[in-house]
Homo-oligomer: A and B are copies of this chain.
């Protein structure tokens, strides 16, 4: 058996998230079925991140084991012909038998995109969260800088989730506005709690709208209380950009 690592981009709009579940089609399911059918063996991928329904990816990572002689780099091209347009393997490479996409991940990068203008733009409707009221991206960026570093992110995690530790190290968190009025929150860290990026996005939006001051962020972190932070921003604005090992 050989272990193959896939880097996968997808438009999550039509999927019930990454993980196989009984009530709808998922990215994991499509990959399992396409790989199994193509290589004529039962293949199950193991993913690095279980993205929610509607979340997108530029560089999600998963591995699978198979018994086949195809050169690793050809796998991506081979199965892309059989995948739908909204899932595209970006690259495929062979890894050692002990490589684990989740446990070995050292760093993840996400972006959250907000289309902040008076009218929606149809071409941006799948991967941005449209927001009508003006947001101050400079204040959002000031607030974001307070999240950088090692902190207990209990206030920024869904309380329905239990992780071993709620301490995470954020290496980068920045906010900028494009000419097309897309506000992009970029966040890079050693790991993220459940819904953490979407709660950070929702909180930074409250800062941008003047409801929370940038200087309140350290206090929100200190409280270790989900209710202290802002709402969870909608899934469609979130994209997993990269997983590093």
Contact = CB atoms under 8 A, between A and B. Distances in A.
A10 B87 contact: no
A121 interface: yes
Contact of A123 (B11, B91, B120, B121): B11
A127 interface: yes
A89 B120 CA distance: 9
Interface string A4-26: 00000111000000000000000
Contact of A88 (B10, B85, B89, B121): B121
A22 to B, nearest CB: 25
| Copies of this chain | 2
Name A's interface SS: mixed
A105 interface: no
Contact of A127 (B80, B89, B119, B123): B123
B91 A122 contact: no
Contacts of A80: 119
B11 A122 contact: yes
Contacts of A239: 123
A106 interface: no
Contacts of A119: 9, 76, 80, 88-91
A76 B87 CA distance: 35
A183 interface: no
Nearest to A10: B122
A229 interface: no
